[in-house]
Every structure is written in structure tokens, then in C-alpha cells.
Amino acid sequence: MKLINTKPGIPGIRFNHQGEAEVLVWAPEANEVTLSIESSGKKISLEKLEYGYWHSETTEVKPGDSYQFDLGNGKLLPDPASLFQSQGVHGASETVDLNAFQWTDAQWVNPSLPDYIIYEAHIGTFTSEGTLAAMETRLEYLVELGITAIELMPVSQFAGPRNWGYDGVFPYSVQDSYGGPQAMQSFVNACHAKGIAVILDMVYNHMGPEGNIFGQFGPYFTNKYNTPWGEAINFDDAWSDAVRHYFIENALMWFRDFHIDGLRLDAVHAIKDFSPVHLLAEMKMRTEELSKSTGKQHYLIVEMDLNDTRYIKPGSENGYGMDAQWVDEFHHALRVSSGQEKSGYYSDFDPITSLAKSFRDAYVFDGIYSEHRKRTFGVKAEGFPGHQFIVFSQNHDHVGNRMLGERTSQLVSFEMQKLLAGTVIVSPFLPLLFMGEEYSESNPFQYFVSHTDPELAEAVRKGRKSEFAAFHIEGDAPDPVGEETFNNSTLQWNLLEQEPHQTMFRFYKALIKLRKEQPALRSADRSGLEVTVPEGSETIILERNTGGQRILGILNFSKNTEDITLPAGQNWQKLIASSDEEWNGEQTLPEKTDGKLTVAAESFSLFAAL
């Protein structure tokens, strides 16, 4: 038996610079493992190593070959670390030489996080073609808007051509209907040429149900824990070393071989790990090692349903070292402030006061009692810079998890949409936009899948209907398996040629331009922030005083005009006002004021001290 260290090579089939294939697969309970090459009919016996790994170095495998593994029982299985499933989740894997792509981004420098203005997009519905190549043709549009980072919803291979991406079963792959791995490399290269960073949404908390072959290779899952989506991944039980290695190497592959700038890690509260070094902390350490060797900065961003600063504390303070996190509570507080319903988990949030607290404290629940949870929840987030918190007025979850998938454009007025945009973009946090909101897209973004297993498809249909039974007395949820549901969720680019969509797009452009140009807005310093709510009003006055500049934002969420008194002894110059005629408003504010203003209902205005 050949001995190896506890950190073996990269799982799957990889080609070195000499063109030789290096094969590594983990199957600890197999007595023999054979690589079966469909293209040539050749079979290669793998050598058994320590810790359940099987290995070979061979020139018999070429880029583009279809292959599978036989674990000694005559059953052929695709590679858990497959780079390309050109025949779908049930087909053979296909080898890819990741070294073959000719990168032209050697001079690319990943922006610092405070300069990130993030645009979340779903590849399949971003264009009518639904491919990475088609997205490339729209990059100039994102540059015009002012976006500095695009966040792609998951690309790992899933069943069929339609899915949000969170049902992926091959984390190393790129969905075939999106164009596959070479299309991804081309897309990232093109983004970098346009000055746009790329964040990739990855799911490390569960595997999708269809095409999931992991359990046939080894104990990738554990029954110690449960997740809402199925078996928990084995990060701390017997044989977990190899499972951890698999996922950490996956993160490193995206950074190293695809030049991805950051990963957004889905629902990390569902990553169950009681190891002395948490999976995320180890992933961060390995990412830093990679950055030292390449000179390239990479970010790890988490989504979590926990107000727990341990995730974003550096390792030196016994944290996991994540660079930033999504803050759903800002969204929830913003939603109820805009007059939308307070059902479910929104019931915990009060209009205006919860939003003002989120501005001040990042977390609304930071050690206080949650009626919805029936317990005290969260810790304080003092001392953490604003760029560690990502906020939004909508995203894929909070649109698509509504029964009908209505966007904010269908729920609130045009004036309120502008107010929501201003609230997010002038916050002391990192702003994230969901594709289409910048021009008030009217199509919904609904939940869709394309499972090929009829029983699984029917189970998803029934589950979706029952999920909303208590909230909607009339009507049914759209069929998640129906192609029409997917088509109805595609962006309508022709709206940009029409009003009021053109005006909304111009308004977003103007807001983003101000965020980039005004020192007080660009800063991630939360210490220069003051938030006041005039007594008896539904208005928030947000002051950002940093970088030698003083800026006031006036956020009127009421349906009435409000008389506002700005700080005395100071002249103020208008930077933007959503109620101005320029933005299809009905009340143009003065260019300068010494402190007395009447602001329109549902309006956002921004002034700078002269």
C-alpha cells in the first residue's frame, strides 16, 4: 500500500501541464475501483492508497473523454468530482483540461470589499437564451449601471435544464445547459476585462435529490444531524476528513482554475460541524494560503440565519474568518417599513424602528427576545465594519419564496421602489441588487425545477402547494415543474425601452454613481453614522459623517408629506431627490436649503453639507 499524507491531491481527473491525467477518487469501502473510459472502451485499475483513496496517473485518458467508475460491483457511476456532466446528472462524466483556457486577466485586481456593488443573477432567466455566453453580451449594460461584482446563483449540475441551482449534485461541475466549464472560464475572463468581479453561489450544506451518487462512494452523509433539504453532509463524523477535503478543494478550484473572486456560501447555519476547527475556518485558512501563493485576493461570504459574529470574526479572535455575511433582517425591516404584510417571520419586525435599528446595529435582534422564535436571539455586532454586512431590498429568496413570486415592483408603488433603492444604496453596508430590480422588472421570479424523476417532480409540486396553504385561501402555487413557470421568470429586456422602466434605470445609475463618488457614502465606517426618527413620523434621517464629508439621507416611508428640519447652522446642497420631476416625481425639491424642507410622500432625498 502506497502511503500518502492526510491532504491528498485534487479529487477527480485533472490534467497536468505535461498532459498526463491524474485520477483520484474516494471509495473507502470498495475492494477495487476501475476507471471505465466510454470513448475508447479502455479500463484502468486504480491503485489503493491510505484513507480510502484510489489513484492512477495515466496517458490513456484525454480531454473530452466520457468516463465512469466501477466500484467492483459492475455498476458504472459518474465521478463525484466531475467537471462536466454533458449528458446530465444520470450520464457519464466528461474530462476537461482546465489548463487549456487562455486567460487574459493577469492584470486583474479584485476590488476591496467596500467597493463591491453586487448584482445577483440567475443564468437561466437572465436572458432568453439562458446561457453564460448570452450573459457575456450583457456585461456592458452592467458596467453602465455601475455594478462592480456579479453574483451568480449556483451553477453545479442539476437535473434537467431548469432549476434555481440549489439542487445541484456535482459541486465541481458547471451546468451543461449554461454552457459547461469552458463557458464559465470565458465568462469570468470577460467580466474581469470589464472591471467586474465574479461571486459564485455554492451549496455546501446539502446535496440535491436527483442524481446524487455520493452515498454509493462513501460516507459523505451522516445521520447525526438533519437539514431542511435532506441528509446532512458528514463534516465531523467517522471518515469526515475526506469529505472536508472534497469541499475545501472545491472552493480552491473555483478560485484557482476559474479565477472566481468570491464564494457566497449558502445557508451555513445548516453546515453541522463540531470539529475543533470548523469547516469554514479551515476553508478560510486554505484560501489565504492560496492567495499568498498567487497574489490574488478571494472572499468568502456567507448566508446564515444566525446573528452570530463568530462567523465574521477573524481566526485570530477564534472566529471563522468569513469576509462578509448577508443580513436578512435589514430586508425584513425594510419590507414592513414599506407597508408590506407582517406575516410569518416578518411579524418580529416593526416599521421604521426596526429599520432604524438595523442601520445602527446591523442586527435587529442582537440579544433581545424574538416573539417569532420564542427566545432571545443574536449578539451585538459592534466594531465590525459596514462592508461585512450585505443588504438588499429583494433577492432570489425573498421574491421566489412568495407563492406567486412577485417582485417588489408588483407589491409597492413606483415611488416606494425608488425609496427602497435609495435606502439600500446609501446604507453603511454593501448593497446587493437582484437582477431586474434596477428597471422595475414586472415579471415574477418563481420557484422552478425540471426533475426527470416523475415521483420526485410530483413531490415538489405537492410540497410547494402545502407550503402556502395557510397563507393563501384562493389559488394555487404555479407548477414548479412546468416550463411556463420558468419562462414567466425570464427578464424582459425590452422594458428598458419603455417608461417608467427607463426612468427607474436612470435613477439606479444615479444612486450608484453617488455611492462611488461621495466619500461619506463610499466609506464602510459605521462610527460616523447617526440615525434619528422624528417623533410621530414615519421618516428616518440618516447622517453619514466620514471622509471629511457630511451627508444626510431623508427616507419618508409615509403616504403623506413630511416637514423636516435639517441640522441648524449648515447649508445643504441636494444630491438627489426621488420626488423630482427628473425621476417622474411630482415635487421637485430646492437645490439648496438652510434646513427647512417639505418632503414628498414615499420619497428619498440626499443632501450634502456645503
What local confidence, expressed as pLDDT, does residue 594 receive?
87
| Residues whose CB falls within 8 Å of the CB of residue 536, separated by 6 or more in sequence, listed in order | none
Q: How far is CA 313 from CA 316, 424, 582, in A?
A: 8, 24, 44
CA 1 to chain centre: 43
Q: CA angle, corner 179, sides to 38 and 286, nearest 5? A: 85
What local confidence, expressed as pLDDT, does residue 227 receive?
86
Q: Which of 79, 266, 438, 538 is catalytic?
A: 266
Task: Indicate if 303 belongs to the active site.
Answer: yes
Task: Indicate if 266 belongs to the active site.
Answer: yes
> Contact 520/547 with Cβ under 8 angstroms?
yes
Give the residues across from 56 on adjacent strands: 23
What local confidence, expressed as pLDDT, does residue 417 receive?
98
Output the domain CATH number for residue 542.
2.60.40.1180
Taking the C-alpha atoms of residue 217 and residue 595, their distance in angstroms, rounded to an integer, is 70
What local confidence, expressed as pLDDT, does residue 555 receive?
98
Nearest to 135 by CA among 50, 194, 86: 194
Q: In this model, does residue 176 exceed pLDDT 50?
A: yes
Q: How far is CA 406 from CA 418, 491, 565, in A?
A: 17, 13, 37
Q: In the chain, what's the furthest Cα-to-Cα distance? A: 84
What local confidence, expressed as pLDDT, does residue 473 receive?
46
In sequence order, what DSSP letters do the residues of 371-416 get, joined into one string? TTTTEEE----TT--GGGEEE-S--HHHHHTSSS---GGGTS-HHH
Taking the C-alpha atoms of residue 502 and residue 316, their distance in angstroms, rounded to an integer, is 48
Residue 194 belongs to a domain = no
> How many beta carbons lie within 10 A of that of residue 105, not counting itself?
14
Taking the C-alpha atoms of residue 171 and residue 69, their distance in angstroms, rounded to an integer, is 18
Summarised one tens digit per residue, pLDDT across range 521-561 is: 999 899 999 999 999 999 999 999 988 899 999 999 999 99
> How many beta carbons lie within 10 A of that of residue 235, not counting itself?
25
Output the domain CATH number for residue 53.
2.60.40.10
The last residue of one of the domains, among 76, 94, 112, is 94
Summarised one tens digit per residue, pLDDT across range 183-222 is: 999 999 999 999 999 999 999 999 999 999 999 999 999 9
φ and ψ at residue 373, rounded to 5 degrees: -85, -15
> How many beta carbons lie within 10 A of that of residue 360, not counting itself?
15
What local confidence, expressed as pLDDT, does residue 1 receive?
34
The last residue of one of the domains, among 70, 94, 118, is 94
Taking the C-alpha atoms of residue 427 and residue 555, their distance in angstroms, rounded to an integer, is 11
Domain count of the fold of the chain: 2
In sequence order, what DSSP letters do the residues of 354-383 get, joined into one string? HHHHHHHHS-S-SSEEETTTTEEE----TT
Dihedral sign computed on CA atoms, order 362, 263, 188, 497:
negative
Give the residues across from 430 on adjacent strands: 390
Nearest to 65 by CA among 32, 88, 42: 42
> Contact 202/267 with Cβ under 8 angstroms?
no
The last residue of one of the domains, among 54, 69, 94, is 94
Taking the C-alpha atoms of residue 37 and residue 43, their distance in angstroms, rounded to an integer, is 6
In sequence order, what DSSP letters do the residues of 240-291 get, joined into one string? HHHHHHHHHHHHHHHHHHH---EEEETTGGG----SSS-HHHHHHHHHHHHH
Report the predicted TM-score, pTM, of the whole model to 2 decimal places.
0.96
Residue 221 belongs to a domain = no
pLDDT band at 39 (very low <50, low <70, confident <90, very high): confident
pLDDT band at 228 (very low <50, low <70, confident <90, very high): confident
Residue 26 belongs to a domain = yes
Q: Which of 61-75, 287-301, 564-578 has the lowest mean pLDDT?
A: 564-578
Q: According to DSSP H, which parts of 414-566 are helical?
A: 414-425, 454-467, 483-488, 501-517, 519-522
pLDDT band at 2 (very low <50, low <70, confident <90, very high): very low
Nearest to 44 by CA among 26, 15, 68: 68
> Contact 13/6 with Cβ under 8 angstroms?
no
What local confidence, expressed as pLDDT, does residue 510 receive?
98
Mean pLDDT of 348-375: 97
Q: Report CA Rg, the chain.
A: 25
Mean pLDDT of 281-301: 97
Q: Which of 6-15, 167-176, 447-456 has the lowest mean pLDDT?
A: 6-15
What local confidence, expressed as pLDDT, does residue 468 receive?
67
More confident residue, 474 or 329: 329
What's the one-letter identity of residue 351? P
CA 538 to chain centre: 31
Q: Counting runs of H as helices and runs of E as strands, what totals does the chain give?
A: 15, 29
Taking the C-alpha atoms of residue 182 and residue 258, their distance in angstroms, rounded to an integer, is 9
Taking the C-alpha atoms of residue 175 and residue 192, their distance in angstroms, rounded to an integer, is 21
φ and ψ at residue 345, rounded to 5 degrees: -70, -10
Summarised one tens digit per residue, pLDDT across range 11-25 is: 999 999 888 999 999
Mean confidence (pLDDT) of the chain: 95
SS3 238: coil
What local confidence, expressed as pLDDT, does residue 567 receive?
87
Residue-number span of the structural domain to which 560 is assigned: 526-609
Q: Which of 303, 328, 438, 602 is catalytic?
A: 303
Residue 484 belongs to a domain = no
> Contact 77/69 with Cβ under 8 angstroms?
yes
**Cell (9 digits) for 196:** 467586474
Residue 403 belongs to a domain = no
Residue 79 belongs to a domain = yes
Taking the C-alpha atoms of residue 581 and residue 80, their distance in angstroms, rounded to an integer, is 57
Kindly compute the dihedral angle of the four CA atoms of residues 76, 80, 81, 84, in this order, to the nearest 10 degrees: 60
What local confidence, expressed as pLDDT, does residue 6 receive?
52
8-state DSSP, 129: S
What local confidence, expressed as pLDDT, does residue 3 receive?
38
Residue 554 belongs to a domain = yes
> Contact 27/217 with Cβ under 8 angstroms?
yes
Spell 463-479 as b/e; 16+ CB within 10 A means b: ebeeeeeeeeeeeebbb
Taking the C-alpha atoms of residue 394 and residue 421, their distance in angstroms, rounded to an integer, is 10
Residue 553 belongs to a domain = yes
